[in-house]
Amino acid sequence: MVALYRLNMGAVKMIRKKMVTIPEEQRERIDFVKCDLCGKTNPSSETDWSTGSFDVKEVEIRMKFGHMYPECGNGEETRYHICPDCFQTKLMPWLKEQGAIETKTDWDF
């Protein structure tokens, strides 16, 4: 494609343009997450196991520790990927056997 542009002084400057192929951008995204207990896969998220449009099924089990200073911080985070079924049928009963008492809160918006 050729375009002519008239500059302030009346001179004509020719700019030649061409089509170029810009390489596709690649980003890392979650392919799937497997439940650490039963192997069930979740295709979209580490914590959101919802299957329907209006479903809410989120499980997050993690421990984070280290040091946090005003200007920096470091540490380590440990996560388990547990599906809602295993959370209810395996983890909760085991925690109850250990003497843990769950905290339940209602939520709405």
User: Of 24-32, 34-42, 69-77, 97-105, which segment contacts Zn ion by CB under 5 A?
Assistant: 34-42
User: Of 7-15, 16-24, 48-56, 76-84, which segment contacts Zn ion by CB under 5 A?
Assistant: 76-84
* Interaction between residue 86 and Zn ion (CB under 5 A): yes
- Eight-state DSSP code of residue 97: H
* Interaction between residue 83 and Zn ion (CB under 5 A): yes
* Interaction between residue 91 and Zn ion (CB under 5 A): no
Q: How many residues does the chain have?
A: 109
Q: 103 by DSSP, 3-state: which?
A: coil
Nearest-angstrom CA–CA distance, 102 and 96: 8
